[in-house]
Amino acid sequence: MADDALTQMQTLIGALPYLKRYDDQIVVVKYGGHAMGEEHAADRFGRDIALLEQVGVNPVVVHGGGPQINAMLSRLGVKSTFVQGLRVTDAQMVEVVEMVLAGTVNKQLASAITRAGCMAVGISGKDGGLVRARKATRTVKDPGSNIEQVLDLGLVGEPESVDTRVLELLIHADIVPVIAPVGVGADGQTYNINADTVSGAIAGALRAERMLMLTDVAGVMDANKNFIPEMTVAEARAGIAAGWIAGGMIPKVETCIHAVEAGVKGAVILDGRLPHAVLRELLTDGGAGTLIRP
């Protein structure tokens, strides 16, 4: 028992410098990946977020929900099509996406945080005009003619602007905002938006101290597949240009770059399947992912 008490005290003492660093600072956490579909993982994540709020950090959570959307579409017999990692979304599908993201997933996650001892409120990017969206466009080159063609992704959007007033009210009231990545256009149209992109836009608009992107990988790997604990924006851009940052890691790194350039002090890509990944990143010496900084 004495050894356990000593270990606990040493842990608290070791975390003290980081608690002081993040006191009253905003930390935006993007929660996604397959781990969020596991009930025990969601409960553990909820406890971690509640702990941050209780020690003086101001967490803001943005979540995805791809696996849950897939499960609902499968139940409804609706087939999904993806283009460059984005789900092509028609009018019927956007209703399902909003129902799952802003309904089931959003409320379950907010409830998990509240059960852990801190008040959380689930909202979407449509609430209070939080995320104004525009239709996302993508192009692809025809392999024969090499001519670029515009792809129609339907009601897939990207953030055009972020109005932080609702978030600021919640943060000042010590309430954790839990945000579903659904936005609204100038004409009132609902758009499905990639959660990574929304988290980056919100972190930038709030000038967050940190943005944490929880994914299914440990972080960024170099050309020799070695883990990179820290890199600058310039180094990240060079990695994309050289090709060793590739595939699905490119949009994640680009989101981090844009967030840092918008005023976020540092953005981290880390494995959300790692127990207490958020606490390890913020409150320990080694961190838990790849930090991208100015």
CA-CA-CA-CA torsion sign (144, 148, 154, 155): positive
Average per-residue pLDDT for the chain = 88
Question: Residue 132 pairs with which residues in a beta bridge?
Answer: 161, 184
Residue bearing the bigger pLDDT, 218 or 61: 61
Q: Which residue from 42, 41, 58 is spatially nearest to 176, judged by alpha carbons?
A: 58
pLDDT digits (tens, 9 = 90+) for 207-249: 999 999 998 888 999 999 999 999 999 999 999 999 999 988 9
d(CA 218, CA 234): 21
Longest dimension (CA), the chain: 74
pTM for the predicted model, two decimal places: 0.91
Cβ atoms of residues 78 and 44 within 8 Å = no
d(CA 266, CA 293): 5
Cβ atoms of residues 228 and 219 within 8 Å = yes
d(CA 176, CA 147): 47
pLDDT digits (tens, 9 = 90+) for 193-213: 999 999 999 999 999 999 999
CA 3 to chain centre: 38
